[in-house]
Amino acid sequence: MATTNGNSGSTVGYFSAPFAEQTILHGGKQSMPLDYNNTTSPFYSEAERTWDSPQDWTVNGADTLTLYFRGNPIGFAETAPGIITMSGSGTDIWNSADQFRFAFKQLSGNGSLIAKVESIDNTDPWAKGGVMIRESLDPGSRFAAVYATAGNGVRYQARLLNTGAATSDTAIATPEQIALQTPVWIKVDRTGNNFSCFYSTDGVKWISMSWNPQTITMSGTIYIGLAVTSHNATATAAAQFSNVFTTGAVTGSWQAQAIGVAQPANDPASLYVAVEDSAGKVKAVAHPDPAATTLASWQQWRIPLSQFSLGGVKLTGVKKLVIGVGDRANPKPDGAGLIFIDDIGVGHPAN
């Protein structure tokens, strides 16, 4: 079991049961959450595993240390025109007040927003990533939205009155739309006070949703954009969007805001693994991406064991494994966040 030694800015596991992460997984039934905080000295954060008896990492021709990791992505990032990574947490976009991250521009009059949802994390079957038109940035605002969900297909949801209960197309949702999975195209359109939503599997042929149109009174300049919620108060869901574009009188640059609840996102930082042998010799290896903590999906990291042995570590007598965030050799302030570690192993990979 990995622990923190109390000398760095890290917390391993959650403060309340079940302690390990049981939703954001690469394999098995749980992963290890590692909370890092490098804003104060010593400016790095570590989790470690120490063995009572030294371990031989060379048996059966083992030559590689493998682990999987993922971070909470930067809250909103447009990496290229129309290609957006975005994360969101919160209990839901539902009832009389919403909890999600909203990235938006301003809309005056008629307009639409189209996006291809490439993926949405399965933090809950109702985790959502989609397109939304919203009257205000208040949690109880009127809105119309169509989402790709993690386990309930593509759904049209709306709030017809401010601070009223949200409603949806559940009663008339078709088997086809419920079965849809990412990647999928979605579209929300406003014509006066009529709001309609659509989906497509190819971005060419659009299917009008059975709930069209919904009449929602919105006046003045309103907001049009992307919405993501994890439907899970203890987790953050990442969504990947592409082909994002608008029509109509849409103005301004992208802005992102937390609606209803604070939205976590990792500060960029590097990731490293250190191995120590029974003689106290230590070698650390850094991940090639200096912002590894912001990577939104599970990443496989294979480290040749030779990188440790060339640093003087005796691989037949491994005493300690350390996973860290920051720059151990040259510590400096670089922020805080949460990463997840899973499926650590030593062996000879098949490919």
pLDDT band per the 50, 70, 90 thresholds, residue 1: very low
Number of structural domains found in the chain: 2
Is the same domain home to 147 and 194? yes
Q: What average pLDDT is seen over the chain?
A: 93
State which residues form the domain around 160: 76-259
Q: What is the pLDDT of residue 266?
A: 86
Is the same domain home to 61 and 192? no
Say if 104 falls within a structural domain.
Answer: yes
Contact 337, 292 (CB under 8 A): no
Is the same domain home to 96 and 233? yes
Is the same domain home to 301 and 252? no
pLDDT in tens, 249-262: 999 999 999 999 99
Of residues 135 and 235, the one with the higher pLDDT is 135
Q: What is the pLDDT of residue 17?
A: 79
Of residues 10 and 288, the one with the higher pLDDT is 288
Say if 304 falls within a structural domain.
Answer: yes
Say if 55 falls within a structural domain.
Answer: yes
Contact 327, 290 (CB under 8 A): no
Q: What is the pLDDT of residue 265?
A: 81
Residue 85 has pLDDT above 90, yes or no: no
Is the same domain home to 67 and 148? no
pTM of the model: 0.70
| Cα(96)–Cα(23) distance, integer angstroms | 26
- Token duo for residue 55: 């371990």
Q: What is the CATH number of the domain that holds 89?
A: 2.60.120.200
pLDDT in tens, 173-183: 999 999 999 99
Is the same domain home to 255 and 272? no
Say if 2 falls within a structural domain.
Answer: no
Is the same domain home to 184 and 234? yes
Is the same domain home to 41 and 117? no
Say if 5 falls within a structural domain.
Answer: no
Is the same domain home to 222 and 306? no
Q: Which of 23-27, 31-35, 344-348 has the lowest mean pLDDT?
A: 23-27
Residue at which a domain ends, from 259, 278, 300: 259
Q: Which of 3-7, 138-142, 321-325 has the lowest mean pLDDT?
A: 3-7
pLDDT band per the 50, 70, 90 thresholds, residue 5: low
Q: What is the CATH number of the domain that holds 60?
A: 2.60.120.260
- Token duo for residue 303: 């480290």
Q: What is the pLDDT of residue 272?
A: 97
Residue at which a domain ends, from 226, 259, 292: 259
Q: Mean pLDDT, to the nearest integer, of 45-58?
A: 96
Calculate the alpha carbon distances from 145 to 90, 123, 168, 169, 229 in Å. Answer: 17, 20, 10, 11, 13
Is the same domain home to 111 and 173? yes
| Cα(104)–Cα(82) distance, integer angstroms | 13
Residue 9 has pLDDT above 90, yes or no: no
Q: Mean pLDDT, to the nearest integer, of 303-325?
A: 97
Residue at which a domain ends, from 259, 287, 311: 259
Torsion angle of the four alpha carbons 106, 133, 103, 79, in this order, in degrees rounded to the nearest 10: -90
Neighbours of 255 (CB within 10 A): 14
Q: Which of 17-26, 37-46, 199-208 has the lowest mean pLDDT?
A: 17-26
Residue 159 has pLDDT above 90, yes or no: yes
Residue whose C-alpha is closest to residue 82's, from 200, 227, 288, 242: 242
Is the same domain home to 119 and 139? yes
Say if 230 falls within a structural domain.
Answer: yes
Say if 68 falls within a structural domain.
Answer: yes
Neighbours of 80 (CB within 10 A): 7
Q: Which of 17-21, 60-64, 65-69 has the lowest mean pLDDT?
A: 17-21
Q: What is the pLDDT of residue 104?
A: 98
Say if 159 falls within a structural domain.
Answer: yes
Q: Which of 13-22, 277-286, 338-347 has the lowest mean pLDDT?
A: 13-22
Is the same domain home to 199 and 104? yes
3-state secondary structure of 51: strand
Q: Mean pLDDT, to the nearest integer, of 143-150?
A: 98
Q: What is the pLDDT of residue 313?
A: 98
